[in-house]
Structure 1
Amino acid sequence: MHKKSLLSAAILLALPHALSAQEMIARLDPILVTPTRTAQTVDQTLASVTVIEREEIERLQPKEFADLLRARAGIGLSQNGPFGKTTSLFMRGTNSSHTLLLIDGVRMGSATLGSASWQFLPPAEIERVEIVRGPRTSLYGSDAIGGVVQIFTRDGDGPARVRAHMGGGSFNTREYGLGVSGSHDRTRYSLSGSHFSTDGIDVQKGVGDSGRDGFHNSSLSGRLSHQVSEALELFGSLHHARGETDYDFGGPARDWIDFVHHASRLGVRGQLHERWFSELSIGHSRDENETFQNAVPSSQIDTVRYLVAWQNDILLGNHLLTAGLDYQDDQVKSATDYDETRRDNWGVYAQLQLDLGRHALTGSLRQDDNESFGRETTGQLAWGYRIMEAWQVRASGGTAFKAPTFNDLYWPGGGNPDLAPESSETFELGLRHAAGGFHADLAVFQSDIDDLIEWAPVPGSFLWQPQNVEKARIRGVELETGIDHDGWSASLSMTWLDHENRRTGNELRRRPNQIARLDLDRQWQDWSLGTTLIAEGRRYNDDSNSQRIAGHELMHLRAAYRVSPAWTVRATLNNVFDRDYVTARQGVIDYEQPGRAFYLTLNYQQ
């Protein structure tokens, strides 16, 4: 940690909290908090990171969250169709269940499937996205083998401001939203709601009804904080999304899923001492799905999660010690009669960030005690060296684990309560450069994952049961670079992966070996024009590598005109050349993706 990081830490612990400490630092320098659970400038973190700010979200005008992440450094996606269909995110080639999703610090995901519902996240409610690539289990516990994605909802500051948007386009797509944010005296607030609806496309041709498979999502977000005193702040956040998404099951009538996606948090934070900052919070999340087949209810599986977190940041001279305690209680409510329907997990962790002049050293250690599988200890060590002001080299190594899901442990007649968690070791070497409007980050890494869980037939019976039988090795290189100069903005990310199942020698399913993305924008006066170019290599749909899915290239165009200081019109043309492409299939039937599509949006920002 060099002097700028120490300044951030000092602000975190010493300044009056009319704003939260981390938000105060954000006013001084762009920062992120996910890699270490403390405020750091982007150029000082010892992790591979990507930050997507609200300005970029508005410029790109994504119709779903996957559009924001597609082909970013280290990220591969597969989708069972667009607009609210099952989406898998492969961070650095790891499984989709190996990436942790946080919304305003609240842990999200299904305890039965083990993965997050990426498809239900509304871009209109997002202020910022922080992507951390590489293991973070030593700070966050289970799931963060591949990395962490944290979403921050809209926040408020200054005089009250109203914002609104409405738009529409191809596939009978409609969207609108309204929000207000600001601050008064010692209170900061933000409240917004949005709705997105589309008829979509026929996701699987020849399966089920022949109609389009639509998607409807209504969401509400809010944040509130109040400065009780110079040293004490109360805060809360809420995100709630509800809707339905159609899919093809095979019957002649309509098939769909009703969903609820919820995250909420309340807490108190403040200074216990001029060098000791503490935060205590309680959180709640829900991932609920009720499935209808042939217009008849067929299943309902809900995950309810209760969370308690206590974190302490203590300045020790030029160094920063972070120590905390996490509690998590998962409950499953389902028509399926699981052998167990709840479990809890206690986690205790500590992290020390050392400032050693040109050198920076960060070490973390965590132990989790889970009532289902016992104790797991993980750790991480990262070193950085500032060659000169604009150049930094870094190296890190860490262990991580993924807890077995409720389906793995307790599925009636098939669960295996003797399963061990999946575990990993990862090593990384990186080089970062940032000067003026230019930045570049290069990273090479290797992850070895043991005890991967696979469902296999039980000898002598018709039953299937999960076992710890698989091993995987993933090697990769990532490059992320960008420049802002004289009205031009360009960013490039590229990823090369070598991934294999160590038992069979086959590639891991549904993740491409090569990914590239280029965003190029030009701003002058009241106009802006931009394009996004995406290229993904081939992938295999199955573990045996017998179903090859071809790679694809896509081009998107966008334009915006600022009618007045408050009003902006934006237009996007996606998949300009109307490419036919897929990222997943079921058997021999593809999950279709949309062809050429046009959207128009009117934005108001006071």
Structure 2
Amino acid sequence: MKKLTIIFTLIFNLLAVSNVLAEEVEESFFIFEEVVVTASRYEELLSETFTSIEIIREEEIRERSVENVGDLLRDVSGVNINDNAGASGVKTISIRGSASEQVLVLIDGQPINEVQGGGIDLSLIPIEQIERIEVLKGPASAIYGANALGGVVNIITKRGTLDSQTTIKAGFASFDTQSYNLSHYNQQGDLGYSLNLNKKSSDGHRENSDLDQKNLFVRFDYPLSDSIDTRLSIQYDKADKGVPGSIQSASPKARQNDELLNLNFQGKRRTDNSDFKLTLHWRSDERDYKDPTWSTDDNHKRRRKGVNFNHRFYLQDHTIVYGLDLEEQKVDSTAYNEIYQLTNQAAFIQNKWSLTDDFIFNLGTRYDRHEEYGSNLSPRVGFLYNLNSNLSWYSSVGKAYRAPTFDDLYWPDSGNPDLNSEISKSYESGLRYIGDKTKLDFGVFYSHMDDMIAWVPNPTDENPWRWTPDNIDSAKIKGIELSFDKDLSGSLYSNFNYTYLDARDGDKERLANRPYHRANLGLSYNNKGTIVNLSNRLVVGRKDLPSYYLADFKILRELTSNAEIFFGVNNLFDREYEVQAGYPMPERNYKVELIKRF
């Protein structure tokens, strides 16, 4: 702890004297006031949202030089990445103590959570195609329906550019890890397009933790007229990896293959006081899992297709958005006795009412009708009051739900088709300050969840190890969040966030892997072709695992006007730690990357 205190003291002293380090910089590289789309499913200023939202911009993604979305989100306040360690380890997300199945993950507004188990492996999503990420913390079922009980992560992709841009990256890292990327952006006439190709391979830091991954993402943007825009994106992913399991129950021969194809079409029409948006999406993924040790050989084919329509219009002091969602999900799994297919229909409406220039009131609700588990109504009320031009107070209260997954409903000899949805009532209040070079967000939150789905022992004579799901659990989650971003000199930028979380079940026992305290401190220097980034992470007060502190160091240096070199060290002080019990994280490791632009 003494070393930890010294390290943090040195960092804060660096921040205090930072103005001396860079006195002549023309303009800041940090922008606070931004437009977001996730809070209401349409564009609005961050300063006018009535819930807590964090944005990771393209510049931040570039300077941090991580390889996937899971690594990118781990330093966001209120977010915990459940990491099974290493290149092949699954990375899922928890927001404010939620389960990973309770967080809705979107790409350009399209849900990408697995329909069979409800979660999503963020390690399989590369970052090169991403323009920015918006993280909405807290319930959002009033707009997005099921699986938005804990929050929403919206990944927004890049579009083509007027000037042709091509980038090639080649990276070499510890554990014989190699990564290659080709990115191309251009516009021919009215047609804009972007292309991203990725390939990554690694031996991994444990036995049977190797990875071979390929990704393709293509996006086309074409305006049919001055008021109508269309977009088509195609995504293909393939991954072959070892699945080593936990050190307590290792699976040294288990293998997993994932293959994904995703299509997304969007059309948008604008008028003087309204806009219409239509989205059609289709997603197919297949997983093969083999473990000779346990004679397991399963194949899972999942399909998800849907259509969404929403219309936003203005009426005096009101901004009203309403829409319809129709989605069909299908699972064909060798683990099941038959093929299952379910549909969900939904309608939502939200009214953002500017009562005065400084007071905004928001009321919304959504009605979902599911073929299997019935209907859910998810209302939400919020308001925002501008105390002055920079400082606002926001609060919201809402009801949200998480639908049972296919595994919950139909797993052979265990599934429970009579399950109800998990229900949450959540409250949030906070202060947000947005200045020219400073952003501060402080908030408190509380959630009470009922009918939580828990898998519990339910043995039979034929199967003494049988577990089944039931709506038997509840939870109370409360916490405090603080995030502080500061542009110290135009070239030196610091960010700090802290989360206090108290998550307990119905018996007042603490939920596993929900630490009391999480703190992140980052320092970035960007000037004259050099970007230096130092990040620090402290996790304290977990139920079953010890606390840990980590530091990562990264530097990106411009060699010529169109060439760069990157060097990074993860786990700088070579700590031994686990994020998930039984999954030791990699020791100190290194990466070098060469970047060439044309």
Q: Could you tell me the TM-score, scaled by structure 1's length?
A: 0.89
> Following TM superposition, by how much is the alpha carbon of 1:599 offset from its aligned partner in structure 2, in angstroms?
0.5
Distance of aligned partners of 1:226 and 1:38 in 2 relative to their CA distance in 1, 3 Å threshold? same
1:584 aligned to 2:580? yes
> Following TM superposition, by how much is the alpha carbon of 1:331 offset from its aligned partner in structure 2, in angstroms?
0.3
Runs of 4 or more above 4 Å deviation: 249-253
> Following TM superposition, by how much is the alpha carbon of 1:253 offset from its aligned partner in structure 2, in angstroms?
6.2
> Following TM superposition, by how much is the alpha carbon of 1:252 offset from its aligned partner in structure 2, in angstroms?
8.4
Specify which of 580, 587, 593 is matched with residue 601 of structure 1.
Answer: 593
What residue number does 2:315 align with?
Answer: 316
Aligned pairs for 1:214-293 within 5 A: 214-248=210-244, 254-271=253-270, 273-293=271-291
Q: Output one character per residue of 1:229-286: Cα deviation in whole Å (capped at 9) or x when no partner.
A: 1222221112221111212257886321101244321132213x53231111210123
Aligned pairs for 1:59-98 within 5 A: 59-98=63-102
What residue number does 2:180 align with?
Answer: 176
Give distance in 2, aligned partners of 1:372 and 1:339. Answer: 16
Q: Output one character per residue of 1:103-150: Cα deviation in whole Å (capped at 9) or x when no partner.
A: 122111222211112221112332211100011111111000110001
Distance of aligned partners of 1:251 and 1:444 in 2 relative to their CA distance in 1, 3 Å threshold? closer
Aligned pairs for 1:282-431 within 5 A: 282-294=280-292, 298-338=297-337, 341-356=340-355, 357-431=357-431
Moved more, 316-325 or 289-298: 289-298
Give distance in 2, aligned partners of 1:242 and 1:45. Answer: 37
Give distance in 2, aligned partners of 1:599 and 1:54. Answer: 20
In structure 2, the residue corresponding to 1:408 is in which secondary structure?
helix
In structure 1, the residue corresponding to 2:38 is in which secondary structure?
coil
Distance of aligned partners of 1:340 and 1:374 in 2 relative to their CA distance in 1, 3 Å threshold? farther
> Following TM superposition, by how much is the alpha carbon of 1:29 offset from its aligned partner in structure 2, in angstroms?
6.4
Q: Output one character per residue of 1:442-490: Cα deviation in whole Å (capped at 9) or x when no partner.
A: 0100000000011223376544321100010000101111112331011
Distance of aligned partners of 1:501 and 1:50 in 2 relative to their CA distance in 1, 3 Å threshold? same
> Following TM superposition, by how much is the alpha carbon of 1:523 offset from its aligned partner in structure 2, in angstroms?
2.2
> Following TM superposition, by how much is the alpha carbon of 1:584 offset from its aligned partner in structure 2, in angstroms?
1.6
Distance of aligned partners of 1:131 and 1:262 in 2 relative to their CA distance in 1, 3 Å threshold? farther
What residue number does 1:200 align with?
Answer: 204
> Following TM superposition, by how much is the alpha carbon of 1:517 offset from its aligned partner in structure 2, in angstroms?
0.8
In structure 1, the residue corresponding to 2:61 is in which secondary structure?
helix
Amino acid at match of 1:453: I
In structure 2, the residue corresponding to 1:35 is in which secondary structure?
coil
Give distance in 1, aligned partners of 2:32 and 2:136. Answer: 22
Give distance in 2, aligned partners of 1:478 and 1:238. Answer: 37
Moved more, 337-346 or 292-301: 292-301
1:37 aligned to 2:33? no
Give distance in 1, aligned partners of 2:446 and 2:351. Answer: 24
Aligned pairs for 1:152-191 within 5 A: 152-191=156-195
1:556 aligned to 2:542? no
How big is the alpha-carbon RMSD for the aligned residues of Structure 1 and Structure 2?
Answer: 1.9
> Following TM superposition, by how much is the alpha carbon of 1:431 offset from its aligned partner in structure 2, in angstroms?
0.1
Moved more, 74-83 or 566-575: 74-83
Contact 1:78 1:511 in 2 (8 A): no
Contact 1:442 1:479 in 2 (8 A): yes
Distance of aligned partners of 1:63 and 1:274 in 2 relative to their CA distance in 1, 3 Å threshold? closer
Distance of aligned partners of 1:267 and 1:529 in 2 relative to their CA distance in 1, 3 Å threshold? closer
What residue number does 1:514 align with?
Answer: 517
What residue number does 1:100 align with?
Answer: 104
Moved more, 141-150 or 331-340: 331-340
Distance of aligned partners of 1:198 and 1:318 in 2 relative to their CA distance in 1, 3 Å threshold? same
Q: Could you tell me the TM-score, scaled by structure 2's length?
A: 0.90
Give distance in 2, aligned partners of 1:571 and 1:83. Answer: 18
Amino acid at match of 2:596: Y
Give distance in 2, aligned partners of 1:496 and 1:45. Answer: 23
> Following TM superposition, by how much is the alpha carbon of 1:402 offset from its aligned partner in structure 2, in angstroms?
0.4
Amino acid at match of 2:277: E
Aligned pairs for 1:425-440 within 5 A: 425-440=425-440
1:135 aligned to 2:139? yes
> Following TM superposition, by how much is the alpha carbon of 1:339 offset from its aligned partner in structure 2, in angstroms?
5.3
What residue number does 1:479 align with?
Answer: 482
What residue number does 1:493 align with?
Answer: 497
Distance of aligned partners of 1:29 and 1:460 in 2 relative to their CA distance in 1, 3 Å threshold? closer
Give distance in 2, aligned partners of 1:251 and 1:458. Answer: 25
Contact 2:242 2:255 in 1 (8 A): yes
> Following TM superposition, by how much is the alpha carbon of 1:329 offset from its aligned partner in structure 2, in angstroms?
0.4
Give distance in 2, aligned partners of 1:518 and 1:416. Answer: 44
Moved more, 398-407 or 482-491: 482-491
Give distance in 1, aligned partners of 2:124 and 2:562. Answer: 29
Give distance in 2, aligned partners of 1:561 and 1:115. Answer: 37
Contact 1:454 1:467 in 2 (8 A): yes
Amino acid at match of 1:505: K
Q: Output one character per residue of 1:332-366: Cα deviation in whole Å (capped at 9) or x when no partner.
A: 01112345611000010001111221101111110
What residue number does 1:537 align with?
Answer: 540
Contact 1:339 1:411 in 2 (8 A): no
Distance of aligned partners of 1:460 and 1:566 in 2 relative to their CA distance in 1, 3 Å threshold? closer
Contact 1:479 1:493 in 2 (8 A): yes
Contact 2:32 2:435 in 1 (8 A): no
Moved more, 321-330 or 288-297: 288-297
Give distance in 1, aligned partners of 2:134 and 2:142. Answer: 18
Give distance in 2, aligned partners of 1:182 and 1:383. Answer: 42
Structure 1 gaps of 5+ residues are 1-26, 203-210, 541-547
Give distance in 2, aligned partners of 1:473 and 1:70. Answer: 23
Contact 2:336 2:410 in 1 (8 A): no
Amino acid at match of 2:522: D
Amino acid at match of 1:381: V
In structure 1, the residue corresponding to 2:128 is in which secondary structure?
helix
> Following TM superposition, by how much is the alpha carbon of 1:532 offset from its aligned partner in structure 2, in angstroms?
0.3
Contact 2:453 2:472 in 1 (8 A): yes
Give distance in 2, aligned partners of 1:364 and 1:383. Answer: 12
Structure 2 gaps of 5+ residues are 1-30
Q: Output one character per residue of 1:88-110: Cα deviation in whole Å (capped at 9) or x when no partner.
A: 32100011111001012211122
- Aligned length, in residue pairs: 559
Contact 1:452 1:470 in 2 (8 A): yes
Q: Output one character per residue of 1:50-93: Cα deviation in whole Å (capped at 9) or x when no partner.
A: 11112111111113322211132101122222223222321000
Q: Output one character per residue of 1:152-211: Cα deviation in whole Å (capped at 9) or x when no partner.
A: 222222112112211111111111111211223322211111112111111xxxxxxxx3
In structure 1, the residue corresponding to 2:143 is in which secondary structure?
helix
In structure 2, the residue corresponding to 1:379 is in which secondary structure?
strand
Distance of aligned partners of 1:553 and 1:128 in 2 relative to their CA distance in 1, 3 Å threshold? same
Give distance in 2, aligned partners of 1:252 and 1:237. Answer: 37
